[in-house]
Structure 1
Amino acid sequence: MGYSGGSYGTSWAAQVHPTYAPEIRLVGVAMGGWTTPVGRYLESLDGGPFAGFLPSILPGMLRADPHLAAAFDRSLTPAGHALIAAGDSKCMTPNVAQHAFLRMDDYLTISFGQLLEQVHTSIDALDFDPVASTAPLFLYSAVHDEIIDIAGPDKAVAQWCADGAPITYTRDQLSEHVSLAISATPAALGWIDDRLAGHTVPDGCSTRTVQSMALGGA
């Protein structure tokens, strides 16, 4: 089985696979545009042009963690509860379009920063696991991503590589967050196809910085 998807689901699949579903033969995982550390990422979205990611991201996080859900439930205003419910019913693109420059403080009884501090244990648990993946990883990030600081993925890759994870990591100079999702797709799917076909992946880690994955840089 190969896996390619969003940052939370993909990193989770890679890290918990040996204990959660050892019966599945996971031959490779491709992941791009991933967020770490999560708390800093959420704060950076708040009040900015991509604040609409928050009503898309938060509902899933709340469903996954009862402690997180309880803390938000206590702190959300009626308008805040409506925001989360409405965001959960829409795709990410309309949320981002509708809620540019949204400030979570307007939907909470305490500041967003205070709330994140109260639940930092739950938020921190969503960051990359220091336990390296046993399945080969194909990772890619935009150096100048306007949403995600590449320092987080760089740090995670360095730690996983030091622990012996098999990683192919590409840093894209020209793309930003959305364009990378498009330009990297052929390389990511091609890499997954190779794993499913049984082609061997090189041992160890490799990191490359390319102009653009759209130009064939993988």
Structure 2
Amino acid sequence: MSGRFRMSVAILAATVAATTVAAVPAQAAVSRGITIPAFYDPPADLPAADGTLIRTQPLKLALSLPGITGTLPGSATRIMYKSTDAGGGPVAVTGAYIEPAAAWRGSGSRPLVVLAPGTMGQGDQCSTSLALEKGLILGIGQERSTVSIGYEILAIYRLLAKGIAVVQTDYPGLGTTDRLHTYVGRVDSGHAVLDAARAAKKLTGTSVTAASAVGLYGYSQGGGAVASAAELQPTYAPDVKLTATYAGAPPANLIDVVAAIDGTELVGALGWSINGFTQTVPALKPLVDSYLNDAGRAALADLSTMCVGDALFGYANKRSTGWTRSGQSLASIIAAEPVLKAAIGDQLIGTRKPVGVVRVATGVSDNLVAHGQARTLAADWCRRGGKVVYDPILLADSGSPLLNHFGPLLTDQGTAVDWLTLRLAGVPAISNCALLPVLL
């Protein structure tokens, strides 16, 4: 946390009684009618070292084919590993490692890519590792309905087809039943990405070695997570041999993103953000609560167990003005409330030089995770001496913020995987920071 934010929180905590946010009970095994496997219940005591494996189990992929020498596109292992949260405390994080059936045709040891998923939701049933196993998570008429689609499978399988080993993180609290997912939390997600790389290299029986180069891949929420990880690597995980990062549509400036996302199809993400921040800093909870009306409190509680599909069905195109006592939007409240503004501002990415080469790709028509703030991230990194490849994706405005954001995920994915593969194979990339002022 920044010093300014610590001071703001300290002042707030001295004037209000900080309340503990109700997290998902450790004994809970069902979320919106979906049973969460016991694997996802963290133990009471966690190991000291970050990246330490807590437990593993074989994971059968929902989309796989039999091959001559093994399963195609590879064999998977569900993992739980130790990380450190934004408050400096230990946290258990789940994910999955996939050993590719395809050979690595580049030089050196088989590389490893950490895939940070895009927005999946906040319910434990929404985790990407469960989606790898189930493909589609569907609960209709069971308590409260839910639907989650493992859309990151396409990117994962493209990487596996290149002979690249993949480990994906579920992030803190997404899957694990001891807390809520700290959605777009800069430090939590960055640490989880780096510790996933550490955990994957501790697995036995894989072709990944200590010398394997590490790449990071993420779009949207995942783009922010890997961007944060690239900044945090020197101080948090200097042992992780980070070579290159693809950060697609990163939500680098959440103050801008909050304003852009309100009233769109994905307005539910505002609730996930608030839930996560008030869990990370409990002193914020009574302050936020003082601005919310009953509808706002009910929406945040409802969203805390929802996946993306649920939020689209339940909250698409609604405005946060309906959640507040004054009828103000959340963006205007954050702008006027110093403590909240400092808390959100503390999530800013772009204040440190990233490690390795980073490709920042953003759709010029993206008005959900606003194009402008992603471009600013690239410019900030360039000013700090980072090696940046900035790539504006030219797609027409569809009229839908969600489609404007989702379109580049698909159209740029093959290019992104190819770019990352070349970097892991040792082919250098040329920074285009000098050209950025004339690029959209």
Give the shorter-chain TM-score range. Answer: 0.7 to 0.9
Q: Deviations over 1:27-68 (max 9, x none)?
A: 111111122431132123223444233234433343344444
Structure 2 equivalent of residue 3 of structure 1: 216
Residue 328 of structure 2 corresponds to residue 109 of structure 1: no
- Tell me: CA distance 1:71–1:11, structure 2 relative to 1, closer, same or farther (3 Å): farther
* Equivalent residue in structure 1 for 2:416, among 188, 199, 203: 188
* Alpha-carbon distance, 1:115 to partner: 4.3
Residue 376 of structure 2 corresponds to residue 155 of structure 1: yes
Q: Deviations over 1:155-182 (max 9, x none)?
A: 2212211221111111011162111111
Give the Cα–Cα distance (whole angstroms) in 2 for the partners of residues 15 and 84 of structure 1: 31
Letter in 1 for 2:257: Y
Q: Which runs of 5+ in 1 are unaligned?
A: 211-218
Letter in 2 for 1:10: V
- Tell me: CA distance 1:190–1:63, structure 2 relative to 1, closer, same or farther (3 Å): farther
Give the Cα–Cα distance (whole angstroms) in 2 for the partners of residues 140 and 9 of structure 1: 14
How many pairs does the alignment contain?
A: 210
CA contact (8 A) 1:56 1:92 kept: no
* Alpha-carbon distance, 1:133 to partner: 0.6
CA contact (8 A) 1:56 1:91 kept: no
CA contact (8 A) 1:56 1:95 kept: no
Letter in 2 for 1:4: Y
Give the Cα–Cα distance (whole angstroms) in 1 for the partners of residues 387 and 417 of structure 2: 18
Give the Cα–Cα distance (whole angstroms) in 2 for the partners of residues 73 and 23 of structure 1: 41
Task: Give me the TM-score of the superposition, normalised by structure 1.
Answer: 0.82
CA contact (8 A) 2:390 2:432 kept: no
Residue 308 of structure 2 corresponds to residue 92 of structure 1: yes
CA contact (8 A) 2:266 2:311 kept: no
Residue 346 of structure 2 corresponds to residue 125 of structure 1: yes
> Higher Cα Rg: structure 1 or 2?
2
* Alpha-carbon distance, 1:129 to partner: 2.9
Residue 367 of structure 2 corresponds to residue 146 of structure 1: yes
Q: Deviations over 1:82-114 (max 9, x none)?
A: 322322322223313321222223223343222
CA contact (8 A) 1:173 1:209 kept: no
Judge which range, 63-72 or 92-101, deviates more. Answer: 63-72
Judge which range, 115-124 or 136-145, deviates more. Answer: 115-124
Q: How does 1:199-210 map to 2 (within 5 A)?
A: 199-202=427-430, 205=433
- Tell me: CA distance 1:7–1:77, structure 2 relative to 1, closer, same or farther (3 Å): farther
Structure 1 equivalent of residue 262 of structure 2: 46
Structure with the higher fraction of residues in strand conformation:
2
Structure 2 equivalent of residue 15 of structure 1: 231
Give the Cα–Cα distance (whole angstroms) in 2 for the partners of residues 93 and 33 of structure 1: 20
Sequence identity, in percent?
21
- Tell me: CA distance 1:13–1:186, structure 2 relative to 1, closer, same or farther (3 Å): same
Give the Cα–Cα distance (whole angstroms) in 2 for the partners of residues 69 and 28 of structure 1: 38
* Alpha-carbon distance, 1:121 to partner: 0.5
Structure 2 equivalent of residue 214 of structure 1: none
Structure 2 equivalent of residue 63 of structure 1: 279
- Tell me: CA distance 1:10–1:74, structure 2 relative to 1, closer, same or farther (3 Å): farther
Task: Give me the TM-score of the superposition, normalised by structure 2.
Answer: 0.43
- Tell me: CA distance 1:59–1:11, structure 2 relative to 1, closer, same or farther (3 Å): farther
Structure with the higher fraction of residues in helix conformation:
1
* Alpha-carbon distance, 1:75 to partner: 3.3
Letter in 1 for 2:372: A
* Alpha-carbon distance, 1:16 to partner: 1.1
- Tell me: CA distance 1:36–1:3, structure 2 relative to 1, closer, same or farther (3 Å): closer
* Equivalent residue in structure 2 for 1:31, among 233, 244, 247: 247
Structure 1 equivalent of residue 73 of structure 2: none
Give the Cα–Cα distance (whole angstroms) in 1 for the partners of residues 360 and 391 of structure 2: 6
Structure 2 equivalent of residue 216 of structure 1: none
* Alpha-carbon distance, 1:151 to partner: 2.1
Give the Cα–Cα distance (whole angstroms) in 1 for the partners of residues 375 and 322 of structure 2: 34
* Alpha-carbon distance, 1:127 to partner: 1.7
Residue 395 of structure 2 corresponds to residue 174 of structure 1: yes
Q: Deviations over 1:122-179 (max 9, x none)?
A: 1111122322212210110011113133222222212211221111111011162111
Q: Which secondary structure state, in structure 1, belongs to the residue aligned with residue 245 of structure 2? A: strand
Structure 2 equivalent of residue 135 of structure 1: 356
Q: Which has the higher contact order (CA 8 A, sep 6+)?
A: 1
Give the Cα–Cα distance (whole angstroms) in 2 for the partners of residues 191 and 62 of structure 1: 38
